[in-house]
Structure 1
Amino acid sequence: MRFQRLVGVLAAGVLLATGLAQTASATKAPVITWTPCAEVPAMSCGKVTLPVDWSKPNGPTFELALAKRPADDPAASKGPLFINPGGPGGSGVSMAFNAGGLFSPEILRTFDIVGIDPRGVARSHPVVCTAEAMNQPGDTVLPRTQTEFDALVRFNKQLAADCRAQTGPLYDHVDSVSVARDLDAVRAALGAEKLNWYGASYGSLTGQMYAELFPHRIRSMVNDGNMDHSLGKWPFLLSEGGFAEDSFQQFADWCDQSTNCTLHGQDVSKVYADLLAKADAGTLIDPSDGTTVDPWDLLDVTQFYFVRPRWVQLGQLLTSLSSGAAAKATFAKAQSELAATRQPVVRAAADLVADVRPQFCEDWSLPVHTFSELDAMYKASLKVAPRMRASVEALSSMTECIGFPGKVNNPQHRLRVQGAPTILMMNGIHDPATGYTWATNAARQLGKAAQLVTYDGAGHVVYSRTPCTRAAADNYWLTLTLPAPGTHCAASNPA
């Protein structure tokens, strides 16, 4: 998985963006070098050389990686369907490798599925830092004293300096606007007059930025699990906390009603409060391996299980932690699964680790200047989310940017899209990461340029959730037929 300030600067940015778009359209399309993919030989993997800074097209360059799964019926191909899994830091190339299990047979028959690793991610010149810098003291999700706050600022600054030194000039140009310009360059290199798009979660922000810059180059666009890039720091943190709290309530209600929940018949809120109290005291033990469970790790794993959602496994995990009896769903396994979703592919080097902090910090201006300000925000979050405390992902994203010395290249603003075809938006009512109010806010900003399909259930992103949600997107991609305004898709059973 940044807003309402600097109107003059934003207006100037629109003029600059228009000029750059015209410049890009006037230049010769880049050339893609294709080879069979080592991971999936039936697919083609490519590299294309692009400017690090689109305002300096003759300056330093980098290689962008992409993968293409050709349409099963080339004669019926409607061109490229570009895909982005979000993150930030998600690999579009890896997503393309798995496209056969995500998209409907008719979509696979009719479109070339194209996944791009965004600049600074995975195979596209990843942002890397030394393990030594990453392991310096001071890193924490939430400083609880002035001393800890000062230590976090020092940590963030030294890490940014190290990552910039290891990565090079690309470090300062990994925002979603730059990614959108890369996307259009690949479209041109493929010889496609227009593109089709599926952006999930943070990928919806790339889609939004593309629609602002290149509205007439869109054939179809589906944004699933929508970002609201118009929020200031307080509404950003508090809304995300509210989404996490709502998801916990959905889980607790399900446990009350379902015998598939191992906590059925118990007070789920009390069980969880007791676990958090033990974690705060340093006495919560994972019975699978005897390790101590940190409170932020407990909250993070819990909220991770809201994403799919995996309520059965969450019930088993909480029961295991509460009873002290080992279970099939272990905390260590859950942490490993969570880490796998956040760790991008990186070039092999024993002393280097990948980092996706600048992707977020260059898209969002969420300045927290003092410990007292952060403490006040956290106390407000506790009122919004008394059981979940905060969205761990949102809170950590914000604190990772405290003291960030780089520039926010893509500060928050209300969406400004003119001349694009209707953008199909999809969102769950009980989404724990990109909540429903984000989708409705973004839809209002787009006005007639958007149509929202509502999934009446839980979990993050909804395309493959039910036949209803899948058909809404598929019909649009295939025939440009939009679902009826106000379409709702019934919830599936998370058990």
Structure 2
Amino acid sequence: MASIVLLSPALPAAGAAGVVDAVDVVDAAALSSNRNPQHDPPQEPHRHPARELRWGDCAGVGDPALRCAEVAVPLDHRRPRGRTISIAISRLPATDPALRRGVLLTTGGGPGGPGVPLPSSLAPLLPPEVRARYDLIGFDIRFVERSTPIGCGQEVEEPGGYRVRTATPGSLPADAAEARAYARDCVRAAGWALPYATTANAARDMDVIRAALGEEKISYLGGSYAGMLGAVYAALFPGRVDRFVLDSPVDPKTAWRPYELGRTPAFEAGTAAFAAWTAEGDAEYGLGGTAREVSDAVAELIRRAATAPVVVAGHAWTSGELGTLLVAGIYDERSFGLVAAAFADIAAGREPYVPFPVRPLPPAGVPGVPADNHTATNMAYRCGDGPWPRELHDYRRDLASYSARYPLFGPANANITPCAFWPRIEDEPVRRPAGRAPGVLVTAALRDVAVPVANSRAVAAGIPGSRMVTVDAHTHAPYPAFGDACLNGEVGAFLTTGTLPPADVAC
């Protein structure tokens, strides 16, 4: 079966002339050195008493109850008195001051998703007993939207805010040249920030936020990448952990190249499930009466768009946009019908109903956010957390292996990225288990395509005393929006009482 072309490498042949097997790192002499803070003595963040925070309206958020403030954090946590950047935080107060326990932090996934608006959308989904006990605190991680945003000089976001190129036979030199050019653009536009765009630094920012709020400990709820961020915080600051819920966390030990390769079979399985479901509704969707016919029809439409965008109702659908639409479908079984109908409409030349943007939208009412902010920050964290192969022969080997075994997504997930040319970052992700942190609650769906459940199991195993609650569903980050009463009840009980289940729970 031919691969699904998520984005078409469209670099002229001359652009690849200088590419050789030894991948040269983008010149980053202007970037300051950044030795590993894990090897430095631990430092207590400067305390910013809560009374010093200036709470006001939240830019780009329509909820008047949500109040926002800015917290200054060191750009380089090794130098706490050096240059600072601003982190935006938001707050919805606990509904019962008499029962208030503390703060429950949350932020967006990605990396690259905003967190400031999340308390407003999360609050109605939480049980009243949880809302009574916690101020909900959202924050944009460093370099995202309201928190000193960066860009890589691109005019638009990539579909999904995630840069990916699908390899085709012989395309690796051109793909590498394009990736190297992108890395150079990022250094040119945001070179001052790139050495410090790491999950460990985002976790250190969380601890400054904790101190600024005047809290000795924090509770936390984070899904997907935000779950990984919580695990890293627990490793760095075990004594500051109160009640942590990590929903479908990425395993820090595999971030990011092994993780991308490792979830490729789940992408294929998710597509097979989507195709089989759609085939059963062939009378409605007309994409094929078998799973193979549906997969071929969708792949053919995406390949067609790689040659020339498919214009429907004034919108030119690119291969990357159609690929993002497919991924949205395979991430959650509840989206199968919507995505199948959208592909059927586009194939027939009808305007599809797609209730979400296929490219991230700039936050309304938030000035100064670069046009490619979400893509740039996603790339910066993925490359900064490293390590990534630097040799072209490594990518050739992976492409040959994964394309043969996983023909739909192997050519995309195994392809070279700008991380092969990224400035070398010494602040590697925290890979040691947080043995001194209290146990946390990890939640996951058994048929998660985005973050396969093995990631969640590894994170739980790395924090002794932790428990897992799983739901047998094809979805991602199921708490609380999936609505499973068993799962939601276990999480609500933990956040309310602090008592973990005596054993793992299968809902």
- What amino acid does structure 2 have at the position aligned with 1:231? T
Is residue 134–residue 159 contact of structure 1 (8 Å, CA) maintained in 2?
A: no
User: Which of 28, 42, 59 is the equivalent residue of 2:47?
Assistant: 28
- Could you give the per-residue CA deviations for residues 117-158 of structure 1, whole angstroms, max 9, x where no partner exists? 1111111101134346999xxx86135425413422431232
Answer yes or no: is 1:161 the counterpart of 2:187: yes
TM-score, length basis structure 1: 0.82
User: Which of 377, 398, 403 is the equivalent residue of 1:382?
Assistant: 403
- CA-based RMSD: 3.2
Q: Counterparts in 2 of 1:141-220, with a 5 A limit?
A: 141-144=165-168, 145-164=171-190, 169-220=192-243
Is residue 65–residue 116 contact of structure 1 (8 Å, CA) maintained in 2?
A: yes
**Mapped partners of 2:263, 2:116: distance in 1:** 28
Answer yes or no: is 1:401 the counterpart of 2:427: no
Q: State the shift of 1:109 in Å.
A: 2.3
User: Tell me, what secondary structure is at the counterpart of 1:457?
Assistant: coil
Is residue 197–residue 381 contact of structure 2 (8 Å, CA) maintained in 1?
A: yes
Look up the match of 1:455: 471
CA distance 1:438–1:140, change in 2 (3 Å): closer
Is residue 287–residue 344 contact of structure 2 (8 Å, CA) maintained in 1?
A: no
Is residue 284–residue 321 contact of structure 1 (8 Å, CA) maintained in 2?
A: no
Look up the match of 2:360: 340
Q: State the shift of 1:344 in Å.
A: 6.3
- What amino acid does structure 2 have at the position aligned with 1:459? T
- What amino acid does structure 2 have at the position aligned with 1:156? Y
Structure 1 gaps of 5+ residues are 1-10, 490-495
Look up the match of 2:17: none
User: Tell me, what secondary structure is at the counterpart of 2:285?
Assistant: coil
Q: State the shift of 1:105 in Å.
A: 2.7
Look up the match of 1:115: 138
Look up the match of 1:442: 459
User: Which of 363, 369, 382 is the equivalent residue of 2:391?
Assistant: 369
- Could you give the per-residue CA deviations for residues 363-400 of structure 1, whole angstroms, max 9, x where no partner exists? 12122421x4323323322344334446x6x568x613
Q: State the shift of 1:287 in Å.
A: 6.6
| Bigger relative contact order, structure 1 or 2 (CA pairs below 8 A, ≥6 apart) | 2
User: Which of 247, 263, 268 is the equivalent residue of 1:224?
Assistant: 247
**Mapped partners of 2:364, 2:382: distance in 1:** 18
**Mapped partners of 2:309, 2:47: distance in 1:** 60
User: Which of 410, 417, 430 is the equivalent residue of 2:434?
Assistant: 417
Look up the match of 2:446: 429
- Could you give the per-residue CA deviations for residues 348-371 of structure 1, whole angstroms, max 9, x where no partner exists? 35975422121221112122421x
- Could you give the per-residue CA deviations for residues 380-435 of structure 1, whole angstroms, max 9, x where no partner exists? 22344334446x6x568x6132211241522463x421221111111111112111
**Mapped partners of 1:24, 1:280: distance in 2:** 53
Look up the match of 1:300: 324
User: Tell me, what secondary structure is at the counterpart of 1:337?
Assistant: coil
User: Tell me, what secondary structure is at the counterpart of 1:128?
Assistant: coil
- Could you give the per-residue CA deviations for residues 63-106 of structure 1, whole angstroms, max 9, x where no partner exists? 11100000111221111000122110111101123223332332
Answer yes or no: is 1:317 the counterpart of 2:317: no
- What amino acid does structure 1 have at the position aligned with 2:387? S
Q: State the shift of 1:217 in Å.
A: 1.1
- What amino acid does structure 2 have at the position aligned with 1:463? Y
Answer yes or no: is 1:82 the counterpart of 2:100: no
Look up the match of 2:489: 471
Percent identity of paired positions between Structure 1 and Structure 2: 23
TM-score, length basis structure 2: 0.81
- What amino acid does structure 2 have at the position aligned with 1:420? A
Which deviates further from its counterpart, 154-163 or 256-265? 256-265
Query: How many residues are matched?
Result: 456
**Mapped partners of 2:380, 2:37: distance in 1:** 20
Is residue 256–residue 382 contact of structure 2 (8 Å, CA) maintained in 1?
A: no
User: Which of 298, 320, 335 is the equivalent residue of 1:275?
Assistant: 298
